[in-house]
């Protein structure tokens, strides 16, 4: 499974924290945290990759256990934990993870047999800043227990799993530091609540769900870097607030929805590098403002666009497949326009 942006950032954090921890060989892990980790191992069914997690006297320093267990040098408390690539696990989410009270970073990636809801004990993780869960069978609603205790959370990823139900509107007030939200690849329904993201350099990734309704206008704010709402059932016209030449947005993916607007006069952000509006109900002509946008990815196929495709500058990079299955587009890279005024 390809790593998400958040996964790569968290792996870098683990690398830097590992260097920091290695500077002090005298640090020993907190006995309560060591006991909690051993309970986590047992609750996961003693997976092979956690074989080094042993209570024996020769390996009691859990700060040196692999996969990554990272401790605070001064206190020996476990502050970061990565549980990745555990194909032999078939178990619920370990409740004992909630006993690691000093945990700031938790990563659970590529553990497809991990199932059930996020346990209520996660409410004890009040210091948690970054949670990345990706590629599991975790189910239930977006965890209320997590929202109740994790006010410091800035990154929340529960992706490619089996979450269902609506996204709680209360997330906006309960997670005041959240700037990166990835709930893509689940079974979520209902509307997208406004105000889920805070601060600068924000990311909203909710693709591959069953979300409906209109996109809230605050996700067009200047501090939003990425909006990926593809493969949902979203409706309405987001063009008035989501686009604009002065915006710093780098990626917008709204493909495979039911959005309706006239693209003709839309002014796309000059900083934009990824734009996918395919498989919607977009009408009018291809916007001339796209000539000034250097896109690495561009797709407006399967819409209701008509007229001559603007030529020049960055438009030369887009092939015919970018415009396929529209109403009556013509001009390079499609066949030339005829003499009927198109």
d(CA 210, CA 228): 14
β-strand 297-299 against 78-84: which pairing, if any? unpaired
Q: Comparing C-alpha atoms, which of 65, 71, 36 is closest to residue 50?
A: 65
Give the pLDDT confidence score for residue 7 in this predicted structure.
54
The pLDDT score that the predictor gives to residue 282 is 98
- DSSP state, residue 295: -
Nearest Cα neighbor of 93 from 125, 136, 132, 129 is: 136
C-alpha distances (whole Å) from 45 to each of 64, 85, 136, 138, 234 are: 21, 14, 16, 17, 41
pLDDT tens digits for range 243-258:
998 899 999 999 999 9
Question: Stretch 327-331: mean pLDDT, rounded?
Answer: 97
As beta bridge partners, residue 84 has 109
pLDDT at 342: 45
What value does the mean pLDDT take over residues 290-318? Answer: 97
Does the pLDDT at position 220 exceed 80? yes
Residues 132-161, mean pLDDT to the nearest whole number: 92
Asked if pLDDT for residue 23 goes beyond 80, the answer is no
* CATH class of residue range 190-341: alpha beta
Residues 6+ apart with CB under 8 A from 14: 68, 70, 80, 82, 105, 107
Q: Mind listing the pLDDT tens digit for each residue in 41-83?
A: 999 999 999 998 988 755 678 898 887 899 998 999 999 999 9
Q: Are the C-beta atoms of 156 and 179 separated by less than 8 Å? A: no
pLDDT at 5: 55
* 158-to-61, 70, 202, 212, 278 alpha-carbon distances in Å: 30, 22, 17, 19, 26
Give the per-residue pLDDT at 25.
36
261 has a pLDDT exceeding 80: yes
Residue that is written with structure tokens 């997208």 in the block: 192
Cα(140)–Cα(122) distance, integer angstroms:
14
- Residue-wise pLDDT for 176-208, tens only, equals 999 999 999 999 999 999 999 999 899 999 999
What average pLDDT score do residues 297-305 get?
98
Indicate the length of the chain as a whole number.
342
Q: Is the whole model's pTM more than 0.85, yes or no? A: yes
Residue 19 has pLDDT above 90, yes or no: no
């Amino acid at each position: 499974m390809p790593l998400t942006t958040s996964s790569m950032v968290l792996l870098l954090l683990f690398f830097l924290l590992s260097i920091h921890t290695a500077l002090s060989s005298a640090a020993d892990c907190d006995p309560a945290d060591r006991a909690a980790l051993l309970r986590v191992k047992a609750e996961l069914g003693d997976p092979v990759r956690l074989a080094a997690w042993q209570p024996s006297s020769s390996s009691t320093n859990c700060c040196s256990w692999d996969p990554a267990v990272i401790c605070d040098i001064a206190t020996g408390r476990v502050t970061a934990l990565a549980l990745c690539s555990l194909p032999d696990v078939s178990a619920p989410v370990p409740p004992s993870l909630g006993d690691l009270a000093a945990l700031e970073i938790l990563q659970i990636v590529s553990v497809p047999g991990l199932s059930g809801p996020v346990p209520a004990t996660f409410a004890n993780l009040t210091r948690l800043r970054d949670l990345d869960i990706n590629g599991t069978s975790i189910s239930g609603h977006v965890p209320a227990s997590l929202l109740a205790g994790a006010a410091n959370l800035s990154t929340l990823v529960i992706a490619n799993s089996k979450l269902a139900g609506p996204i709680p509107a209360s997330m906006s007030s309960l997670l005041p530091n959240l700037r990166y939200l990835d709930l893509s690849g689940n079974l979520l329904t209902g509307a997208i609540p406004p105000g889920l993201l805070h601060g600068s350099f924000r990311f909203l990734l909710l693709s591959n769900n069953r979300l409906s309704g209109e996109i809230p206008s605050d996700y067009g704010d200047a501090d939003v870097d990425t909006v990926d709402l593809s493969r949902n059932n979203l409706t309405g016209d987001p063009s008035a607030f989501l686009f604009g030449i002065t915006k710093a947005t780098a990626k917008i993916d709204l493909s495979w929805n039911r959005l309706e607007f006239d693209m003709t006069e839309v002014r796309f952000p000059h900083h934009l590098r990824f734009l996918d509006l395919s498989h919607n109900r977009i009408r009018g002509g291809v916007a001339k403002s796209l000539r000034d946008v250097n896109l690495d990815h561009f797709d407006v196929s399967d819409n209701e666009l008509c007229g001559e495709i603007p030529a020049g500058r960055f438009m030369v990079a887009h092939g015919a497949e970018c415009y396929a299955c529209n109403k009556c587009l013509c001009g390079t890279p499609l066949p030339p326009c005829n003499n009927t005024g198109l």
